[in-house]
Every structure is written in structure tokens, then in C-alpha cells.
Chain A
Amino acid sequence: QVQLVESGGGVVQPGGSLRLSCAASGFTFSSYGMHWVRQAPGKGLEWVAFIRYDGSNKDYADSVKGRFTISKDNSRNTLFLQMNSLRGEDTAVYFCAKTYYYGSGIYYLDNWGQGTLVTVSS
């Protein structure tokens, strides 16, 4: 079955950097686009970034554009989120999620990890 396991969260000072990883198994990782979605404590879901199955196209929310970079290593079945210039408002649980199918299915997230908590605080 599909399994997504995030890691790399922790406490970081404002202005600092962190790299999140998402280890994927149970499906052909190289055939699917992937998303990062975050959820601040007690708040709703916020879409963060998307990467096409082959890494050729990436999209970002305005709130993270220029600071975060999404990437995927299809040889290691791993998704990454490099987060730079972190701010307090980036504090959240970060989920990685798999797209449902190719084409319009990239807008739907059918399998999610359990999330990793990032806390930005001095």
C-alpha cells in the first residue's frame, strides 16, 4: 500500500533554513506529481507547492515563492522541500501528498503522510 513518511521537521530560528524529506513507497514514485501542504496549529490547510512527476514543472504559493524549493529524487523515491528565510508564520505541520492521477488528477491529493512539525521561533 502507499506509504509517505515525512521527516526533517524541528525548531529553527527566524531567518533559518530547514529541509524536509518525504520517503515514498508502495507506488511508482516516478510516475506521480507530488504536493506539500501545511497546517498551522489549530488552523486550516494551506497548499504550499507542487512538482510534476518528472520534476520539469513546479508551482508555489505566493506566501513561500522565492523562499521554498520543492524537488524530487525519483531514483531514491524521495520528495524534498528546502525552506529558507523562515518566518514565524511558517510554523505548521507539513504534509507531503501524492497526486491522484495524471492530467487533471494532479489537483487532487489521494494519499497523505502523517506530517512533520516545523516550529519557527527564537
Chain B
Amino acid sequence: QSALTQPASVSGSPGQSITVSCTGTSSDVGGYNYVSWYQQHPGKAPKLMIYDVSNRPSGVSNRFSGSKSGNTASLTISGLQAEDEADYYCSSYTSSSALVVFGGGTKLTVL
């Protein structure tokens, strides 16, 4: 069960937009639209930000959006704010022996 591949870090200035990629295979990201994204601040529990590739749960800012092309999913955060600084994890259903697989995580720094 290999983890999905994410960049270790990304950064941006307040007001800018950033995109975090998440690359899998046809057994997970590429084969199903069951991709989600989680935000985790230090010492806190993760928070669901995106599900079904591009849907936002109630209460999540519309500055967060998701998309997918082939085996790669993406999370875009527009209008960066200081409070967006956190770790971001993608996740997908997988048809392998597991049920769910996470990405390795991306640390977002707001400059």
C-alpha cells in the first residue's frame, strides 16, 4: 500500500494562490472520484476540507477547491491567509488490499 505522492512543501504570500498536487495510480486517484483533502495544524486533529474530488463540507471556505486529472488530484487555495499555514494531506479510496490511502503530506508556509 504505497502512499500517494505529494510535494513536501509549498509556500506563498498572503493573497496569492497555491496548488498542492497528489499523484497516485489507476488503483486509487486515477480510477475513482473518491479523493479527499485534510488540513492539519500542529498538535491538532485533521479537518476534512474537500471530498469527492471537489466538494466542500459545510463551513469550509470557498477559497479551497479541488480537481483531478488522470492519476493526479490537486488542492488549490486562493487568497492565501496566515491561518492557512498547516499541513495538507490528500486521501483516496484504493482498490488494493487496503480501503483508504493517504498522501505523505505537504507543509504550506504563508510567507
Contacts and interface: CB of A to CB of B under 8 A. Distances in A.
Query: Do A and B associate with each other?
Result: yes
Interface of A: 35, 37, 44-47, 50, 59-63, 65, 95, 100, 104-105, 107-110, 112-115
Contacts of B93: 104, 107
A37 B100 CA distance: 10
A25 B89 CA distance: 26
A27 to B, nearest CB: 15
Interface in B50-85: 51-52, 57
Interface in B87-101: 87, 89, 91-93, 97-101
Contact of B97 (A62, A100, A107): A62
Nearest to A115: B45
A45 B102 contact: yes
Contact of A109 (B1, B48, B52, B101): B48
A63 B34 CA distance: 23
B3 interface: yes
- Which of A37, A104, A107 has its CB near the most chain B CB atoms (within 10 A)? A107
Given A50-B100, A109-B46, A115-B45, 9 more contacts: A44-B89, A44-B103, A44-B104, A45-B105, A50-B99, A60-B98, A65-B97, A107-B34, A108-B36
Interface of B: 1, 3, 34, 36, 38, 40, 44-48, 51-52, 57, 87, 89, 91-93, 97-105
Contacts of B101: 47
B39 to A, nearest CB: 11
Nearest to B44: A114
